[in-house]
Structures are given as C-alpha cells and as structure tokens.
C-alpha cells in the first residue's frame, strides 16, 4: 500500500504531527488506495510561507515561459492518462471511460493555459489629453488557496491551478479527503514539468483543519473553492475577514426539459447520461426531468426500462455502467432523500434501494432511482441530492417548464430538447442558469468555455475558458505622459 506525502517548498514531507488518514476504494471498501498525511495548521503555515517567498520570483517569469511549463504538464498528463484514470476510478468510483475524460479535461486545460501565456491581453485606450498614452495590463495577485471537491479529482484542480500559475500566482492546494491520490499525481507532474520550488504546494487533510487554515490566513490573497453551498458560504464569510478575493463554484439542481416535439430517443440518451453518469455525482448532473404531458407515458416507460438495465459495479470493469457512491455518507444521503420523496407523496418508478448482492456488497452502491408524480414544491425537486436519483415533473407548456426549472435556489446547468427553434431561443433567454444546452444533456462542459452558475451556485466568478483568467489576475492601469508638462485630467482637456 502506497504512502503519500505533502509537497511543500519543493520537498515531499509528512505532516508535522506524523498523523495519517486512509483513502479507500468505494467499490471495495476493504481496499486501501493509500495512506496520506493528516496535516494541521502548522503544515499549512509552512506551505503558505513557501508560496509567499516563491511568488517574488515566479511573478517575474514571463507568462509565455510559464505557459511552456504548462504545455509540458499537458504532455506528461497525456502520457500517463490511462494510469491516472485507473487510480482515480479506484479512489472515487466513477467508470474508467469517465475518469479518462476527467484527465482529458485536465490536458485540454493545460494546453489552453499554455496558449494563454502568449495572450493575457490587456487594453490600450486613447487618452483624453495629447501626448499621453493609457493602458491597462493584468498582473499576478499573490498566493492562491485552492480547495477542491472529489467528483472531478483532476479536472477541477486543473481548472484552478493552471490559470493561477499561468497568471503568475503561487499555490497552496488542499484536495478533497476522498481523492488525495489523483491530486498528488497532478502535483508530481507539475514538479516534473519544471514548476519551481514553493510555487505549487499540496497539503492533505480535513477541510475543518487544512481548509480553514488556508482560508483564514492573512498571507493568502485569493481562494478558489468548488464544493457544497454550505461550505462555500462559510468560506465566503471567513475570506471576507481579510478581504480576500474568493471564487465559489457550488451546488446545483439541474433540469432537463423535454418538449412534446423533441427527438425522444435523443432526449432519452441525454437524460440517462445526465442523471446516472458519474452516479449522479456531478455538479451539473440532471436531477430533474421536466417532461411534457403529451409524451409523458411513452417517454417514461422507455426511460424506466432502460434505467433498470444499467449495470452497477466496479468502475474498472468494462461491463459497468454506474459505479458506486463516493462514500457511505453520500449513499446514506441518497437513501434519505428517497425516504423524503416517498413521504412527500412521490412514486418510485424504479430503484430506491442500495445495490446488493455479490461484489456490490463490498462497496457503496445505490440503484439508479426515478421518482414520478413529483411536484415542484417537494424537497426532492428543490434540494441537491448528488446521487443517482431523478425526479420527474409533468408540465403542459414551455412557460410552465421554464418556471419549474427556475424554481430552485441554484442556477448551474440546464437543458431543453425541442425541434422548435422559437422555443429553444425563449429557453435560452428565460432560463436562469449559467449554462444552457439545446438538444444535449446538462453535462458536457468544454475546457475553453466559461463555466459557472448563477443564484446560489456561485458568487459571480466563472471558471473555464478566458473568464477564469480574470479571477486569477488583477488590473493595473498605467498612464504615460510624454508631453513634458503637467497635464491635468478633466481640467486641461
Ligand atoms: P464539500 O464537502 O463542500 O467539500 C469541498 C472541499 O472543501 C473539500 O476539499 C473539503 O475538504 C473542503 N472543506 C470542507 N469543510 C471545509 C471548511 N470548513 N473550510 C475549508 N474547506 C473545507 O463538497 P464535496 O462533498 O467535496 O463536493 C460535492 C459538492 O460540490 C456538491 O454540492 C457539488 O454540487 C459541488 N460541486 C460544484 C461544482 C461547480 O462547479 N459548481 C463542481 C463540482 C462539485 P474534505 O474533503 O477534507 O472535507
């Protein structure tokens, strides 16, 4: 069994306390994937000190050179894709095709970041005065605290760390306790590719200790967090005490609308992938199906039939469609929502219990579950479950569908299946979500596009694409007066 370490100031090291924790395979709980340092405040302190010192040199490395290092990172990740994907499946359960996709997203993000090193565009703007030149350029900020969830153990850290580094910041990274192994491989690769000592640091350990210590620290200038809304609010409150810049990517309650004129086979493939891919544990997972009454019965009978055929199992096996929940707690949450749904009067169309029998007894499996007769006011229609549980709501019109879709505190992803171009454009206009798909499921973000939610899914920052570079840099405005005399803005114009 492999023993992993923290990486601080270019050196691999244990927690100062010597404490450790285990990382186990959710498909086979008796298998220990690795032993990790259970770090504390003192380890975080050392990592922040290293990052602060390293910042003074790293910020002066030309952005194209920083980009070249990230290009090498992408190359190494490509060469190790298969091996990383297998490790990821072992530590968090999703099927191998999906973990390969997760690594690929990291590779795409590396190459995008490498190319951004030769852009990082600023602005030149005419001055209101003669013989004067105005420009604004982006500059690094300082030490970035990066705190990530377990559901995309490679992609999400890369969305944050690569732009942070490219912009000239240094990083203290705390990955989720459920996925520390993939995160460690990412840091290994960054170091191998030539990221200098102190520029990237990883500190393993619990959110309450390591996460808190990062967010509360005076010397951390910005925090990028992805996780639950509950923890996001705490981070926002704590970060505000030192006026940190904080980016939050939080929960979702995403819905797919299927109108009566939709291509039903396409919509079926979409909802199956959206609801049960990654065992429903995506921030963009389809948690609600908003289905037109004219196609309701026909659609439901095929959907339930196809859902019952999905094969639960170890994500490493080619026969598996749906892997386990990430841990026992998440499976309990899923089941508690099934009990809540039943009490609220919804009807189970399939699933509703843990996955049992044979190898399923070794892990945290939950049957793909569908509720019908769900009304928009039920908790299963409003709250994030983060498991393979789909709530189906019947609607009569596009207007009703959009109202139902918008009726949650979240606003991450959304989708509509229709052949009517007018309805599609109305949906684009009226749906309150950061992402809207037309004739595609709620999942499927591409690395070079903005990614983020509205309402209580976030706090207005966007990851992905060109937008994330706004978060990891700040503007410096420069006026160059070459008139040789005093020119007073607003007065001498
Ligand atoms: P979580 O419990 O909020 O944890 C996220 C991260 O925060 C983990 O690294 C966790 O550490 C850490 N943490 C916990 N308590 C903390 C504290 N007091 N201070 C600082 N850090 C703390 O979320 P999760 O269960 O890992 O992930 C699932 C959630 O993430 C869902 O709500 C999902 O919707 C959301 N998510 C959102 C997006 C998006 O882009 N909008 C993407 C993916 C996931 P430990 O692991 O050690 O507890």
Q: Is there an atom of ligand 1 within 6 Å of 372 CB? A: no
Spacing, Cα 150 to ligand 1 middle (Å): 7
Atom of ligand 1 nearest to the CA of 238: 19
At residue 179, the pLDDT reads: 98
Catalytic residue among 98, 167, 209, 283, which? 283
Please report, rounded to a whole number, the percentage of residues in the chain having pLDDT higher than 90: 100
Which CATH fold would you assign to the domain 254-438?
Aldehyde Dehydrogenase; Chain A, domain 2 (3.40.309)
- Residues 371-409 have pLDDT tens digits of 999 999 999 999 999 999 999 999 999 999 999 999 999
Distance, CA of 380 to CA of 400 (rounded, Å):
18
pLDDT at position 429, please? 98
pLDDT digits 0-9 by tens, 172-196? 999 999 999 999 999 999 999 999 9
314-366: pLDDT as tens digits? 999 999 999 999 999 999 999 999 999 999 999 999 999 999 999 999 999 99
User: 39-69: per-residue pLDDT in tens?
Assistant: 999 999 999 999 999 999 999 999 999 999 9
Answer whether 2-250+458-477 and 254-438 agree in fold. no
Residues 97-143: tens digit of each pLDDT:
999 999 999 999 999 999 999 999 999 999 999 999 999 999 999 99
Q: Which residue's CA is minimally distant from atom 22 of ligand 1?
A: 207
The conformational region for residue 342 under phi > 0 = left, psi -120 to 50 = alpha, else beta, is alpha
167 is an active site residue:
no
**What is the rounded distance in angstroms from the CA atom of residue 129 to the CA atom of residue 15?**
58
pTM above 0.85, yes or no: yes
Q: Is the pLDDT of residue 479 over 90?
A: yes
Of 150, 289, 247, whose CA–CA distance to 207 is shortest? 150
| Whole-number percent of the chain with pLDDT over 70 | 100
Task: Give the pLDDT band of residue 302 (cuts 50, 70, 90).
Answer: very high
pLDDT digits (tens, 9 = 90+) for 2-15: 999 999 999 999 99
Catalytic residue among 249, 350, 384, 463: 249
| pLDDT confidence of residue 91 | 98
Please count the other Cβ atoms lying within 10 Å of the Cβ belonging to residue 109: 30
In this structure, the strands spanning 11-13 and 6-8 are antiparallel
In terms of Cβ atoms closer than 10 Å to its own Cβ (0-12, 13-18, 19+), residue 459 is middle
Q: Are strands 2-3 and 28-37 parallel, antiparallel or unpaired?
A: parallel
User: Does residue 493 have a pLDDT over 90?
Assistant: no
Q: Is the shortest distance between the CB of 184 and ligand 1 below 6 Å?
A: no
Domain boundaries, the chain: 2-250+458-477, 254-438
Task: Quickly state the pLDDT bin for 291 (edges 50, 70, 90).
Answer: very high
Dihedral angle of Cα 178, 180, 185, 186, to the nearest 10 degrees: 90
- Position 1 pLDDT exceeds 90: no
**pLDDT by residue (tens digit) across 156-169?**
999 999 999 999 99
Architecture of domain 2-250+458-477: 3-Layer(aba) Sandwich (3.40)
Identify whether 283 is a catalytic site residue. Answer: yes
Residue 90 in this model has a pLDDT that exceeds 90:
yes
Q: Would the CB of 412 count as within 6 Å of ligand 1?
A: yes
* Ligand 1 pocket check for 213: Cβ under 6 Å: no
Testing ligand 1's pocket by substitution, the residue of 91, 173, 227, 247 carrying the most ligand atoms inside 8 A of its CB is 227
């Amino acid at each position: 069994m492999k023993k992993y370490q923290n990486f601080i100031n270019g050196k691999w090291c244990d927690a100062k306390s010597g404490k450790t924790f285990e990382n186990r395979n959710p498909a086979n709980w008796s298998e220990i994937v690795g032993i990790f340092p259970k770090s504390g405040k003192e380890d975080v302190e050392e990592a922040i000190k290293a990052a602060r010192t390293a910042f003074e040199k790293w910020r002066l490395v030309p952005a194209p050179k920083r980009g070249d290092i990230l290009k090498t990172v992408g190359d190494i990740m490509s060469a190790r894709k298969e091996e990383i994907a297998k490790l990821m499946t072992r530590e968090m359960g999703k099927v191998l095709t999906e973990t390969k996709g997760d690594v690929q997203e990291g590779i795409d993000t590396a190459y995008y970041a490498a190319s951004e090193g030769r852009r990082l565009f600023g602005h030149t703007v005419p001055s209101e005065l003669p013989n004067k030149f105005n420009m604004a350029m982006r500059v690094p900020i300082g030490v970035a605290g990066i705190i990530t969830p377990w559901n995309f153990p490679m992609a999400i850290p890369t969305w944050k760390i690569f732009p942070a580094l490219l912009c000239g910041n240094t990083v203290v990274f705390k990955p989720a306790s459920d996925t520390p192994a993939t995160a460690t491989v990412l840091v290994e690769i960054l170091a191998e590719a030539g990221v200098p000592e102190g520029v990237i640091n990883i500190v393993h350990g619990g959110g309450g200790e390591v996460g808190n210590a990062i967010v509360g620290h005076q010397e951390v200038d910005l925090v990028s967090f992805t996780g639950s809304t509950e923890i996001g609010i705490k981070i926002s409150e704590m970060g505000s005490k030192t006026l940190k810049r904080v980016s939050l990517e939080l929960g979702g309650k995403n819905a797919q609308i299927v109108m009566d004129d939709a291509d039903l086979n396409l919509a079926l493939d979409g909802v199956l992938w959206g609801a049960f891919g990654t065992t429903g544990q995506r921030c963009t997972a389809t948690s609600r199906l908003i289905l037109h009454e004219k196609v309701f019965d026909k659609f439901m009978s095929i959907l339930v039939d196809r859902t019952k055929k999905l094969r639960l199992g170890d994500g490493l096996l080619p026969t598996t469609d749906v892997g386990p929940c990430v841990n026992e707690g998440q499976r309990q949450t899923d089941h508690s929502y099934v009990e809540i749904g039943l009490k609220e009067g919804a009807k189970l169309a399939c699933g509703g219990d843990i996955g049992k029998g044979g190898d399923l007894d070794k892990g945290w499996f939950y049957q793909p579950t569908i509720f019908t007769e769900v009304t928009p006011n039920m908790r299963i229609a409003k709250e994030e479950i983060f498991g393979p549980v789909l709530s189906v709501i019947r609607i009569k019109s596009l207007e009703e569908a959009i109202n139902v879709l918008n009726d949650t505190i979240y606003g991450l992803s959304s989708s509509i299946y229709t052949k009517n171009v007018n309805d599609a454009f109305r949906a684009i206009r009226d749906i309150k979500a950061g992402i809207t798909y037309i004739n595609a499921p709620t999942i499927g973000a591409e690395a070079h596009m903005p990614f983020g939610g509205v309402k209580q899914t976030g706090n207005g920052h966007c990851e992905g694409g060109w937008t994330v570079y706004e978060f990891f840099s700040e503007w410096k405005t420069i006026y160059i007066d070459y008139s040789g005399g005093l020119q007073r803005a607003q007065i001498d114009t």
